[in-house]
Chains A and B, each alone.
Chain A
Amino acid sequence: MGQELLQTFFATITDVLPIACIIVGFQSLVIRRPIAHPSRVGLGFFYVLVGLTFFLQGLEMAFFPIGKLMAQQLTAPEFITGLQQTSHAMKRVDWSQYYWVYVFALAIGFSTTIAEPSLLAVALKAQQVSGGVIGAWGLRIAVAIGVAMGVALGSFRIITGSPLHWYIMVGYGIVIIQTFFAPRMIIPLAYDSGGVTTSIVTVPLVAALGLGLASTVPGRNPVVDGFGLIAFASLFPIITVLAYAQISTWWAKP
């Protein structure tokens, strides 16, 4: 376990090293002024490194294996159609028989987003900048609902085998219409929330679900249909965050 922890630590260092080099390089060559409180900032970077190491290692130990196994078990034909009629039911499975998959997609999309550190960072920043008008928890829950809906709809798409780009285009269309009506202040943040949600907690579990579905649903090809769930998960939060802002404005009006 100690060795694995050390390995994750070195992997995290290689991830952070380019960023540190660029900052130090520009700081010393272009800006040429010392950083304020260098020891505090240095300690902060060290905390980020150690924190990410423990976080990733903990995920690997506690949640990823069981979450991935769950995605496989829930999408397995034996589970969908019941054990007794496996052999002949394999050929044709109705999309509505996958109800537990949709519930799982909703639940795993929501819960992994709440645990996502990058979203937490952006939500804290937004709360600070807006002077508390936008609450960190409100934003995170709005984003999590978006990811939940996205992953569920993405699973439905894989099961029915309909083309990805039609969904994405309709989604973009909704975002464009919402942009005209949403309060101006929320727009950049809403767009950002699409990109930050899909990170170290969400991607592995959601990808496992997508791959599980694409390889067990009859007639699906994992290399073509396995991709695309992440795209759903980063599109829908934009819609829900814009809707959240719109609803709160209507609510505030007499």
Chain B
Amino acid sequence: MLKAFLKTFVGSIYDLLPIVLVIGFFQFAVLQQPLPNLVEILIGSLFVLIGLTLFVQGLEMGLFPIGETLAYAFAKKGSLAWLLLFAFALGFGTTVAEPALIAVAHEAARVAAEGGVIDATEHARADYAFGLRLTVALSVGCAIFIGVLRIVRGWPIQYLIIGGYLGVIIMTFFAPQEIIGIAYDSGGVTTGTVTVPLVAALGVGLASSIRGRNPMIDGFGLIAIASLTPIIFVMAYGMIR
């Protein structure tokens, strides 16, 4: 146990080294300034190392096993309807409370108010931000739903993704100018640090428990769909509003 911790801790040092070197180089060689409050930076770095070590340990002990166990249990139960309902709930539930999304939604509401798309009142902005959050959460719910259905049926991912990209390109010409940047960005921010490992384990677990599926070819791809659908849904939201 302790040995595993130490090994992960050493691994975390390597993970963190590049960022330390980059910040050090720019601070001393380019900007030529001393580091402000060195003690705080040292304590913070130690925190980051401890945090990353614990996270990786927890990943192997909790998140990966639970994702796989759920996948096996659903495959054994054999009810596609329950599996799909679970998939939607997982996507929707994990996204609607995502802090990064809440921040982006507020920013987007500010932009929309400045652009004159909505009234510049507190109420209209909160309304717009909440609508956007629901839209993105709905889109991620749909994404996990479609992605799980794809694993069960064995559809090749590239047709879904390329079709989705073409949809994004066509919609870009019709969507209002100020929503496009937000829509493109929202695809990147939706998948959080707890959701990603869980969803990856679920997909791989499903693909390895269904006969005829390959965990490499069919197991991955859920996150890709979950970063594509928000772009489409947010642009649609901008067009309808």
Q: Chain A interface (Cβ within 8 Å of chain B)?
A: 1, 11, 14-19, 21-23, 26-27, 30-31, 33, 35-37, 40-63, 66-67, 70, 73-74, 79, 100, 104, 107-108, 110-112, 114-115, 117-118, 120-122, 124-126, 129-130, 164-165, 168-169, 172, 175-176, 179, 184-185, 187-189, 191-192, 194-201, 203, 223-231, 233-234
A227 close to B224 (CB less than 8 A): no
The A-contacting residues of B in range 143-187, CB under 8 angstroms, are 157-158, 161-162, 165, 168-169, 172, 177-178, 180-182, 184-185, 187
Most chain B CB neighbours (cut-off 10 Å) among A124, A192, A197? A192
B77 touches A (CB below 8 Å): yes
| Interchain CB contact under 8 A, B82 and A122 | no
Size category, B interface: 35 or more
Contact assessment for B57 and A44 in the assembled complex, using a CB-CB cutoff below 8 Å? yes
Give the CA-CA distance A18 to B96 in the complex, in Å: 9
In the complex, number of A-B residue pairs with CB atoms less than 8 Å apart: 326
Residues of A near B31 (CB, < 8 A) are: 70, 73-74, 79
B157 cross-chain contacts in A, Cβ below 8 A: 187-188, 191
A184 and B51 in contact, given A122-B223, A196-B196 (Cβ under 8 angstroms): no
- Give CA–CA (A226, B35) in the complex, Å: 28
Among B54, B59, B193, the residue within 8 A (CB) of A54 is B54
Measured CB to CB, the nearest residue on chain B to A27 is B70
State whether B193 touches A199 (Cβ < 8 A). Answer: yes
Contact of A196 among B111, B181, B191 (CB under 8 A): B191
* Distance between B88 CB and nearest chain A CB, rounded to angstroms: 10
With CB as the reference atom, state the residue of chain A lying closest to B35: A66
Q: Is the CB of A224 within 8 A of B178?
A: yes
In whole angstroms, what is the CA distance A62 to B77 when docked? 48
Provide the B27-62 mask, 1 if CB < 8 A to any CB of A, else 0: 100110001100011111111111111111111111
> Complex Cα distance A70/B25, Å?
11
Collect the chain A residues with CB atoms within 8 Å of residue B25's CB. Answer: 107
Question: Do A48 and B63 form a contact, CB below 8 Å, given A14-B97, A62-B45?
Answer: yes
**B65 in contact with A164 (CB, 8 Å):** no
Binary contact track B112-125/A, C-beta < 8 Å → 1, others 0: 00110000000000
With beta carbons under 8 angstroms apart, the residue of A47, A115, A188 that contacts B54 is: A47
Q: How far is the CB of B181 from chain A (nearest CB, A)?
A: 3
The chain B residue sitting closest to A226, CB to CB, is: B181
Sample of 28 A–B contacts (CB below 8 Å): A1-B43, A15-B97, A22-B90, A37-B65, A44-B59, A44-B62, A44-B63, A48-B62, A51-B57, A60-B44, A62-B48, A63-B45, A104-B26, A110-B22, A115-B48, A129-B204, A130-B216, A168-B184, A172-B165, A172-B169, A179-B162, A187-B158, A189-B220, A196-B196, A223-B115, A228-B185, A230-B185, A231-B188
Are B111's CB and A223's CB within 8 A?
yes
A198 and B200 form a contact (CB under 8 A): no
B191 and A199 contacting across the interface, CB-CB below 8 Å: yes
User: In the bound complex, do residue B69 and residue A36 qualify as a contact, i.e. CB atoms below 8 Å apart?
Assistant: yes
